[in-house]
């Protein structure tokens, strides 16, 4: 197939791109390489000769329209993913996560309406849970701009699927970890930043007591989940949580990283005021709908995933720190 991966130089997009290339598909990548979004040329080193690269922006409707032409499948991984940054720069976050998605949807509707579309959402759209485990029917009361904008963009995808019969699905993710993540900054997912700190033998700082539970999923299992949804007609017009089976406390996560890597150390500190307001407590999520509809299940334990992640970064740390 011809596949377009937006945000293909980022963490999830690059892993998808490499997997698709190894399967023999013709892959195009659209990425604006904004340093605030986590893209990295090093992510696609092994397949760069096989990929058609477009250094463009989702906000340029003409470029997006040209990129979607002739594609059999489009996987939208492009996003501004930082929760703190979204509160500092709400207009930037809205532009990328809402307007960018709308540009992509309009381009597909006008110029390639038969293409298959997978859009990535986030578990943080839900906000504090009203019940747990939370499923896809859980109400959404996000506590930060990023999560609100991802919720909005997901609704646009579902509207276009219903109103214009676009073959679109949404896959919501939680805390994905593994090779090719942006591990250099706390602006990205906490778990990958913790990994970066441990790899440098630095202190991992946990806000509060770290008792709040989170869901983790290794990147290879994420790729499998996305492609399982993409290759099943039953999933069109549907939203899915692609999350792991287990939920671990944040402090437990940090301690496991330190134990497996043999480097780093953990310390708890009081919550910073600007971060406490966005904290949602335990995030217990259900993956039962995805398991039922596409027979997917996570295969990688947290310890196994950490060992693979450590091995990847040890010889490439200068490209990611």
CA atoms of 30 and 278, how far apart (whole Å): 31
Q: What is the pTM assigned to this prediction?
A: 0.95
- Predicted pLDDT at 11: 96
Residues (pLDDT < 70) of the chain are none
CA atoms of 293 and 150, how far apart (whole Å): 23
Domain residue ranges in the chain: 2-182+217-245+285-299
- Predicted pLDDT at 274: 73
- Specify whether 146 is catalytic: yes
The residue from 131, 146, 160, 164 that is catalytic is 146
CA atoms of 153 and 98, how far apart (whole Å): 5
∠ CA 28-162-240, rounded to 5°: 65
pLDDT digit string, tens, across residues 272-315: 877 777 778 899 999 999 999 999 999 999 999 999 999 999 99
- Predicted pLDDT at 273: 77
Report CA-CA distances (Å) from 73 to 118, 153, 238, 308.
8, 19, 16, 29
Which superfamily does 2-182+217-245+285-299 belong to? NAD(P)-binding Rossmann-like Domain (3.40.50.720)
- Predicted pLDDT at 24: 97
CA atoms of 239 and 289, how far apart (whole Å): 9
């Amino acid at each position: 197939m011809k596949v377009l991966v937006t945000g293909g130089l980022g963490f999830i997009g690059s892993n998808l791109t490499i997997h698709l290339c190894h399967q023999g598909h013709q892959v195009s990548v659209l990425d604006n390489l904004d340093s605030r979004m986590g893209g990295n040329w090093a992510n696609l080193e092994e397949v760069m000769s096989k990929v058609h690269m477009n250094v463009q922006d989702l906000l340029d409707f003409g470029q997006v329209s040209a990129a979607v032409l002739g594609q059999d499948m489009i996987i939208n991984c492009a996003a501004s993913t930082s929760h703190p940054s979204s509160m500092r720069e709400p207009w930037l976050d809205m532009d990328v996560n809402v307007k960018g998605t709308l540009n992509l949807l309009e381009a597909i509707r006008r110029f390639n309406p038969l293409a298959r579309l997978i859009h990535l959402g986030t578990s943080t759209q839900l906000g504090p849970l009203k019940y747990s485990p939370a499923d896809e029917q859980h109400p959404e009361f996000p506590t930060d701009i990023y999560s609100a904008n991802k919720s909005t963009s997901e609704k646009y995808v579902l509207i276009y699927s219903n109103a214009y019969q676009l073959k679109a699905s949404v896959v919501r993710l939680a805390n994905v970890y593994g090779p090719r993540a942006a591990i250099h900054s706390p602006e990205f997912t906490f778990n990958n930043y913790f990994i970066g700190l441990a790899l440098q033998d630095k202190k991992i700082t946990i806000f509060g007591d770290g008792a709040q539970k989170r869901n983790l999923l290794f990147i290879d299992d994420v790729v499998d989940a996305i492609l399982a949804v993409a290759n099943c007609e039953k999933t069109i017009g549907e939203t899915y949580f692609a999350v792991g089976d287990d939920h671990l406390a944040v402090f437990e996560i940090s301690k496991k990283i330190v134990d497996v890597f043999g480097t780093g150390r953990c310390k708890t500190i009081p919550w910073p005021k600007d971060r406490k307001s966005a904290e949602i407590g335990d995030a217990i999520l259900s993956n039962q709908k995805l398991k039922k509809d596409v027979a997917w299940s996570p295969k990688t334990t947290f310890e196994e995933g950490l060992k693979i992640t450590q091995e990847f970064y040890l010889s490439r740390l200068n490209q990611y720190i």
